[in-house]
Structures are given as structure tokens and as C-alpha cells.
Amino acid sequence: MAPAAPPAGAPELILGELRKELTEHQFGCWFGAATLDTPHSGRIRLNVPNNFYREWIQTKYLTLLRSCVARILPGATEIEVAVQPPAAAQGPGTPTNGRSTPTRGPGTIAPASNGFERRLGPSRDLELNERYTFDNFVLGPSNRIPHAAALGVVQHPGKAYNPLFIHGSVGLGKTHLIQAICHALLERRCDTKVLYLNCESFTNDFIHALEHTDLERFRNRYRYLDILVVDDIHFLANKDRTQEEFFHTFNTLYNAGKQIVLSSDSPPGEIPTLESRLVSRFRWGMVAEIEKPVYETRFSIARRKARTMGVDMPEDAARFIAETVDSNIRELEGSVVKVVGSALIMERPVTLALVKDVLRNADNAPPRITMEEIINATTRQYQVKVSELQSKKRTQSITLPRQVCMFLARQLTGLSLEEIGGYLGGRDHTTVMYAVERILELEQRDQRLRTTIASIRDRLGA
């Protein structure tokens, strides 16, 4: 038997229910460019212009949409959000359901004179993690000030704290916090022109623009925004041309009253070889540090992480994890994932005994060797200064120790190539990769180098 036909005017009725539940601004932003199809009473399809709309609606409004559909079509069992660009379906500006379809969507940069237009959204430039919101951020004494500053940016972008510079060690929540700003600003105004990226992407874009004599397009992308959010800005170190370009980008946005948010492993004054004029500008607004989480915060994070995985972790088990893993949030959450995953595999409940059993190897493992320890051991072995390893000097007396340091860091730490380069003057991942390969090659035929590396390992207890 063919499915029953939906009542006449069902799409308009459903959209009318949505309009009642949303502000006019929210409805216009997210559903003003959408159309509803009801092929039969059991299936609903919402057509949206692009992936940005689809992902945002699925994340933020799907539950509400289901509720509104159920009021009009109680028998509907399937709701699909499908991409159907207006140009392909009816042509831009063609009326749909009595409304005109906008030709520009949320997060779109206005076209420049050369016709350049780029859409910003989680599926492309933004690459936002949907979990990195203020609601999922565990607040504690170690992060209260940067959290308050981030909320201030959301309430008064470009005015309260501009720039906002958040710094702290790896794995403490910097990326979570700056992405939460992006989520909140887009939630408040979906047409906000937001660009979130890491510093390496900015550098690569600039190099590409230089190679293809396309600086106008590059500048159009970065200088016509409402908010620029750059993660790991410390990778500007030792990149003179990129620093100069970022200086002018910063000035353009700042003078236009646009918000700038930056994160770094170090405060502005401690980023190696960063130009003084950039250091000064980074200090114009708010410089806030995220510190290591205290015990109470670690306890809350452990239990919340377990809940997101569908497990209610007992207090004594969460307490043990919080006491055992005190380095950073990333390792703390990783331990929770390991415990919950093991419980599921072994079909056992999460108990204190299980936690101790699963984390026993990690608990008995020797302390992890840090990048700072490797740098100090290398400089002592070769009788050079830390500042020399981080400098631009390319003499053999400096280059070899620097490459040995990179080689050992790659072997003895869990740091990425980019992170290792960041500790040594902001060098890029290709430089670190070359250093590792070169030392591997030299070590095979140079007995003296093998002895030196062994000596450094002894200093480190590795």
C-alpha cells in the first residue's frame, strides 16, 4: 500500500512551528534559505544550501525540528537534512515557500573586487570540534581568568579584550576555549565572519600566495573578517616574512574594531625571535594563562568524560585517576578512555580495582622525559646555549646539536614534529623531519656521534 499523502500545506505548517520556537534572526539565518519536501507522511527532507547549514542544523536544531514535525505529521519516522544548493535547484534569489533565498550564507566573506569569495564552516576552514563549547568546558581555579575573558569576547567582540591572548602548556584546554568562542559567536549571529585556523595554515597560505603572486586574494581572505582566531601563534617564531604579513593583518583588523584571538604555548615575550612590535601588540588586550588543573577540576573532568562515553564512573575510581594523572587534561581524558574502553572489552563494570589494573603499567612507568630536559642535556653535552639552539645560526657547531636535540625529542617524547620545531625557534615540521633523518644516517657510520648520543641518553636516564 502506498504511504499516505501528507496534509496540504504541511511544509509551511512545520516551518511555522519552527518560527514560533526561534527568534526571527535565528529562523532567518538557518531556515530562511531552506525548503521542506514531504514525499509521503513517513519521510521529511529539509533542503539546505551547503554543508555548513547541514552540519549546524544537525548539531543545533535537529531535536527541535523533530518536535515541530511531530506536531504536524505524527507519523513521520525519518528526517533528512540534505544539501541542495539554491542555484542548482531553482536559481539564486528564486522565491521558496514565499520567501526569497539569500545568495550568501553564514560565515561568508564578502566578495572582493576580483570576485574572490570563500565560505567558512566546520566542514572547511573552521574545522570546529562540536564538543569544544563553553557548556563542555570544566571551569576551575586554573582556568577561571581566561574563561571569563573568553566570555567577555563573546559578549563584546572587538571591544572587551582585543586581542585575547591565551597561553599555557600542551593539553590544558587552550584550543577548547578559543573554539568555544567561535561556536558562541556563530550561535549569537550566524552571519558572523569567523576564521579559525592554526598558525601553520596561515604560514602555508602566505607562502602559497607568494609563490603564485596572489597576495591580493590572501589579504582578502584574512583582512575582511569579524573575528580571526589563530591557534599556536608561537609558530610565527623565526618566520620574518610571515611575521611582517601577520603584523599588517593584525593592524588592519584591530583598526577596524574586529576581534583577534590567539593561543600559544608561551606568553608573547617568551616566543623566540618574535618581533618586538608583535610582542607589543599581543599585549595590547588581555594576556591570560591556563595553568595545570587542580585536583578538584581533574576529578570533575574525569567523571564528565566518562559520562560522555555512557558510563557513570564511581567517585573512588575518578578520584584515583585525578590523583594519578596530574600533567594535563589530554592525558587525563586519555586515561578515562582507556579505562572505559577496557571495561567494555572485558565486560566488567568500572570500579576502583579495574582502574588500578588498567593504569598499573602507566603508573609504574618511568617519568616521561620532557622537551626542556632534552634541550638542557644537549646544551650541556655540546657546551652551547639554549638561545643558540633556538637561533637562526647555521654553523656546524650549532646545527649538529640542534639536529641531535630534534632526533632525541622525536624518539623520547610524544611531541609532534611541529611541536618539537616550536621549542627550537619555531622551525617547521619539514626541518625537524630532515634533522631526524640526517642523524639516523650519520649515527650508522659515525662512532663518535653514537657515543655522544648515548652520553646524552645517560644524562636523561633513557
Q: What does the pLDDT look like over 364-386, one tens digit per residue?
A: 445 567 888 899 999 999 999 98
Determine the pLDDT at residue 338: 86
- pLDDT, tens only, 142-177: 888 899 999 999 989 998 789 999 998 877 889 999
Q: Report the candidate in 307, 345, 302 with the shortest Cα–Cα distance to residue 325.
A: 302
Rounded distance, CA 120 to CA 228, Å? 12
Rg (CA), the chain: 26
Question: Which CATH architecture group holds 10-89?
Answer: 2-Layer Sandwich (3.30)
Determine the pLDDT at residue 107: 39
Confidence of residue 109 (pLDDT cuts 50, 70, 90): very low
Backbone angles phi, psi at 125, to 5 degrees: -70, -40
Backbone angles phi, psi at 437, to 5 degrees: -65, -40
Separate counts of helices (H) and strands (E) for the chain: 22, 10
Rounded distance, CA 167 to CA 279, Å? 13
Rounded distance, CA 59 to CA 125, Å? 18
**Domain residue spans in the chain?**
10-89, 144-289, 295-364, 371-460
CB 225 within 8 A of CB 193: yes
Backbone angles phi, psi at 98, to 5 degrees: 85, 5
| pLDDT(65) > 70 | yes
| pLDDT(99) > 50 | no
More confident residue, 55 or 150: 150
Confidence of residue 123 (pLDDT cuts 50, 70, 90): very low
Residue 24: how many CB atoms within 10 A of its CB? 9
| pLDDT(362) > 70 | no
- pLDDT, tens only, 314-347: 988 888 888 888 777 888 888 888 888 888 877 7
Q: Which fold has domain 144-289?
A: Rossmann fold (3.40.50)
Rounded distance, CA 413 to CA 391, Å? 22
Q: Which fold has domain 295-364?
A: Helicase, Ruva Protein; domain 3 (1.10.8)
Provide the residue type at 323 as one letter.
E
Confidence of residue 2 (pLDDT cuts 50, 70, 90): very low
Rounded distance, CA 99 to CA 29, Å? 13
DSSP, collapsed to helix, strand or coil, labels residue 371 as helix
- Please tell me what DSSP assigns to residue 261: E
Taking residues 11-31, report their average pLDDT.
Answer: 79
DSSP state string for 61-105? THHHHHHHHHHH-TT--EEEEEE--HHHHT-TT-EETTEEPPSS-
Provide the residue type at 174 as one letter.
K
Confidence of residue 255 (pLDDT cuts 50, 70, 90): very high
371-460 has CATH 1.10.1750.10 classification? yes
Determine the pLDDT at residue 280: 92
Rounded distance, CA 408 to CA 299, Å? 34
Determine the pLDDT at residue 138: 82
Q: Percentage of the chain with pLDDT > 70? A: 85
Enter the C-alpha cell of residue 323.
590523583
DSSP state string for 145-209? HHHHHHHHHHHSTTTSSSSEEEE-STTSSHHHHHHHHHHHHHHH-TT--EEEEEHHHHHHHHHHH
Determine the pLDDT at residue 419: 80
Rounded distance, CA 406 to CA 14, Å? 60
Query: What mean pLDDT is reported for the chain?
Result: 80
Backbone angles phi, psi at 312, to 5 degrees: -95, 95
Taking residues 414-433, report their average pLDDT.
Answer: 82
CB 230 within 8 A of CB 202: yes
